[in-house]
């Protein structure tokens, strides 16, 4: 099992689906980012909330406090709407958040799908389309774009339209609700295929677009990118249960290994095209599912996949030479003064490996 690093912690808090959640995301010392510089300006564009960039345009930890980012729903995918419509959508989301809270978010978090499934394959005009309009709009509005590059696809919604990828995975409209159906959906984008170069044409195009995206003044735009989300949870199709070589009927260590290989391959491709403006993040969940031990979550029995020790967060870690930031989802009330919140954070950190020996540092009290 790999050992997770001991990172320097910063926090992103977000309002997701009406429920407060803490997405703690930590910069990893000695990871792929170059040495830091403390200027809060890049070119003529003021960085939001005193965000700091490293040389090579990597997002560095704040000198104090934390970055506060926001997810308020995703803008349309690049193939769903015009650039002007997407720009208006992003601006409206950021403006509404700023007016409601009085604080401009440091990062604007949104999802970019792998494409749209037409029944037999991914439509070529949707495959790995970089969200240029959303990235430019977020940056020009004064936030750092935080892109969730997700290896899942839109599917027909049964009424002549297209479902969001989340809905397609969760409900599989017009198909069914069994593990076999979920596996079939996960098979639309196999992580082993990504690692083997099967999506290299689309990835090279996506990463080149990320490298070449520019702001209103013609300056490069720094971007934070994560591949998938909460990868140690079997509620997403990139988890090891669905991505194991034997699928959900024979899940095993090949699942996390395929995720690691795929993510390493993506970052290697980014380096080949020179996309140094991307900061790479790994996003885990506070709970692993399938569970790691029989008493992993006392009072809550393991799910249908039983106990799977190979599903530890550390098993999904691509390594310090690839990942710049490490994130953990921690749902529920987030009150720094609350003993319950502090216990929750400590408990989340201790679960990062079965022994807790490789846990990241806890967040601020």
Top-confidence range, 36-50, 157-171, 254-268 = 254-268
Confidence of residue 14 (pLDDT cuts 50, 70, 90): very low
Among 168-172, 302-306, 350-354, the range of highest mean pLDDT: 302-306
Residue 53 has pLDDT above 90, yes or no: no
**Positions of E strands within 198-331:** 223-227, 278-285, 325-331
Q: According to the model, what pLDDT value does residue 258 have?
A: 98
pLDDT above 90: residue 131: yes
Mean pLDDT of 208-226: 95
Per-residue pLDDT reduced to its tens digit, 233-257: 999 999 999 999 999 999 999 999 9
pLDDT at 112 over 90: yes
Cβ neighbors of 109 (< 8 A, separation 6 or more) are 12, 14, 69, 70, 71, 146, 148
Alpha-carbon distances, residue 338 vs 221, 335, 341, 365 (angstroms): 38, 5, 5, 9
The answer, yes or no, to whether residue 325 has pLDDT greater than 80, is: yes
Q: What is the mean pLDDT of residues 1-12?
A: 45
Q: Would you kindly state where each structural domain of the chain is located, as residue ranges?
A: 8-350
Assess whether pLDDT exceeds 80 at residue 180.
Answer: yes
Is CATH 3.20.20 the right assignment for the domain spanning 8-350? yes
DSSP bridge partners of 156: 162
**Element holding 210 (H helix, E strand):** helix 200-212
């Amino acid at each position: 099992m790999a050992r997770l690093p001991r990172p320097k912690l910063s926090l992103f808090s977000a309002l997701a689906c009406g429920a407060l959640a803490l997405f703690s995301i930590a910069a990893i010392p000695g990871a792929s980012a170059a040495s830091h510089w403390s200027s809060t300006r890049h070119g003529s564009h003021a960085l939001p909330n005193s965000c700091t960039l490293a040389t090579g345009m990597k997002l560095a930890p704040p000198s104090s406090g934390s970055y506060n980012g926001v997810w308020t729903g995703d803008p349309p995918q690049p193939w769903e709407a015009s650039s002007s419509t997407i720009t208006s959508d992003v601006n409206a989301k950021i403006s509404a958040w700023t007016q409601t809270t009085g604080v401009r978010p440091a990062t604007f978090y949104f999802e970019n799908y792998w494409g749209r499934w037409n029944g037999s394959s991914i439509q070529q005009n949707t495959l790995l389309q970089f969200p240029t309009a959303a990235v430019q709009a977020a940056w020009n509005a004064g936030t750092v774009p935080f892109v969730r590059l997700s290896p899942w696809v839109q599917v027909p919604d049964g009424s002549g339209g297209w479902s969001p990828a989340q809905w397609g995975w969760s409900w599989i409209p017009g198909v069914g609700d069994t593990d076999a159906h979920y596996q079939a959906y996960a098979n639309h984008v196999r992580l082993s295929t990504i690692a083997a170069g099967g999506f290299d044409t689309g990835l090279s195009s996506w990463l080149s677009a990320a490298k070449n995206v520019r702001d209103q003044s013609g300056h490069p735009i720094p971007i934070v990118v994560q591949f998938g989300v909460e990868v140690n949870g079997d509620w997403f199709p990139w988890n090891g249960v669905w991505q194991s070589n034997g699928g959900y009927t024979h899940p095993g260590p090949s699942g996390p290994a395929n995720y690691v290989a795929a993510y390493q391959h993506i970052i290697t491709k980014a380096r080949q095209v020179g996309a140094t403006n991307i900061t790479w993040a790994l996003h885990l969940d506070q709970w692993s599912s399938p569970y790691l031990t029989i008493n992993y979550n006392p009072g809550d029995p393991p799910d249908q996949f039983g106990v799977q020790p190979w599903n530890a967060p550390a098993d999904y870690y691509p390594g310090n030479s690839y990942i710049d930031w490490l994130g953990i989802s921690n749902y529920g009330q987030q009150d720094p003064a609350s003993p319950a919140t502090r216990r929750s954070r400590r408990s989340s950190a201790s679960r990062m490996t079965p022994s807790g020996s490789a846990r990241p540092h806890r967040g601020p009290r």
